[in-house]
Chains A and B, each alone.
Chain A
Amino acid sequence: QVHLVQSGAEVQKPGASVKVSCKASGYMFTSYDIIWVRQATGQGLEWMGRMNPHSGDTAYAQKFQGRVTMTRNTSISTAYMELSSLRSEDTAVYYCARCYTIYGVVCYYGIDVWGHGTTVTVSS
């Protein structure tokens, strides 16, 4: 079975950084993009960016440029998302997910597998 297992909840102070991990199993890690989406309490879904685990290439949403870094360790099929200069507005559940990019279309078949989410709380 395909799974994405994320690291546990985090509490960070404003100005700090947080790094969330996402371990994939049940499929070839390098064959699917890993994307990151966040959701503030009671709010909608917000696209943060994506990474190609094979090449390491990334594409970040403009809103997060300069603050987000997506990396991976292919030897352990794990992706990471680091967000820096945290502020209270970054308090949210952060999801990793996989999708298949083909013909230049990101998530051609939709976002078919999601992690369970990691709650990040930014508070002084």
Chain B
Amino acid sequence: EIVLTQSPGILSLSPGERATLSCRASQSVSSNYLAWYEQKPGQAPRLLIYAASDRAAGIPDRFSGSGFGTHFTLTISRLEPEDFAVYFCQQYGTSPPTFGQGTKVEI
């Protein structure tokens, strides 16, 4: 199965700053079928990005995804207070779908 490694484990930033999160795959992600999710304490994950760069419905444009092959990036252009959470990447191009271990964005 494809192993996804996210970095950094913890990202300490302030509101208004730019956040750049990395997700590296152990092998190429088929057709860039990679998604990003946000999870806040006690809540289910929320879909942000699918197919590496397509924003899900209702997601603000400060969230953007990029990358291809084995290296993908989630960028939050200007952090809002509600963006402090854990972010997971997921590949779904090769069975079984797998998730990264998460990056925590903290103040």
Contact = CB atoms under 8 A, between A and B. Distances in A.
B100 to A, nearest CB: 7
Nearest to A45: B99
Nearest to B86: A44
B99 A111 contact: no
A110 B95 contact: no
B44 A116 contact: yes
Contacts, number: 62
B70 to A, nearest CB: 19
B50 interface: yes
Contacts of A46: 99
Given A44-B88, A45-B88, A115-B44, A110 B99 contact: no
Q: Which 8 A-B pairs have the closest CB atoms?
A: A110-B50, A114-B44, A110-B35, A45-B99, A44-B101, A110-B47, A107-B92, A61-B96
21 contacts: A44-B88, A45-B37, A45-B45, A45-B88, A61-B96, A95-B45, A105-B31, A105-B93, A106-B92, A106-B95, A107-B35, A108-B33, A108-B50, A108-B92, A109-B51, A110-B35, A110-B92, A111-B45, A111-B47, A112-B57, A115-B44
Interface of B: 31, 33, 35, 37, 44-47, 49-51, 56-57, 88, 90, 92-93, 95-102
